[in-house]
Amino acid sequence: MTAQDGYAVPDTPVVVSLAGELDAADAGWAVELDNAIDLGAREIVVDLLNVTFADSSVIRELVRAHRRTADEGWVRLVYTQHVIRRVIDICGLSEVLPQFSTVESALRGSPSKLHPDDSHHSTTSDFEGTSS
């Protein structure tokens, strides 16, 4: 770890594993993601393999995490569920939040080939938006 502004910054990516139904009613999962960033993590793999439901609040928090880390790092998502892919595609965020099929592939930066559009995804993004 290296020090930055009084915090110990991880030298390696942080993996945040989430499970179950994720929605605005139970935002404990969002706190876990925020805590990782607040503690200095700038390269974050979010493991969603055991998530059975995700509403728009999840997408909002993932975009927020992306914005908070984009200058110095990245947020990469691990999932294989069609329902998560569909929400990300509907929101037009597949370039910002590319799909990885395993934690290992996300750590390497090798996007999934589970979807025909994945061949053009990069591991970084040119997403620009207003800050949260």
Alpha carbon 121 to chain centroid, angstroms: 14
pTM of the entire predicted model? 0.77
- Triad 81, 35, 39: Cα angle to 5°: 125
Closest by Cα among 122, 111, 119, 49 to 79: 49
What pLDDT score does 98 carry? Answer: 86
- Note the pLDDT of residue 113: 62
Q: Residue 74 corresponds to which tokens in the numbers above?
A: 């990245």
- Please give the average pLDDT of every successive group of 10 residues along the chain, which has 132 residues: 46 92 90 94 96 90 96 94 89 91 93 54 39 40
The owner of tokens 């989430």 is: 18
Contact 104/76 with Cβ under 8 angstroms? no
Q: What is the pLDDT of residue 4?
A: 43
Backbone phi and psi for residue 54, each to the nearest 5 degrees, phi listed first: -145, 125
pLDDT value at position 112? Answer: 63
Per-residue pLDDT of 50-64, as tens digits, reads 999 888 899 999 999
7-9 and 14-22 strand pairing: unpaired
Residues 6+ apart with CB under 8 A from 123: 74, 76, 98, 109, 111
| pLDDT tens string 101-122 | 999 999 999 776 655 454 444 4
Contacts of 105 (CB under 8 A, 6+ apart): 78, 111, 112
Domain boundaries 2-113, corresponding CATH code? 3.30.750.24
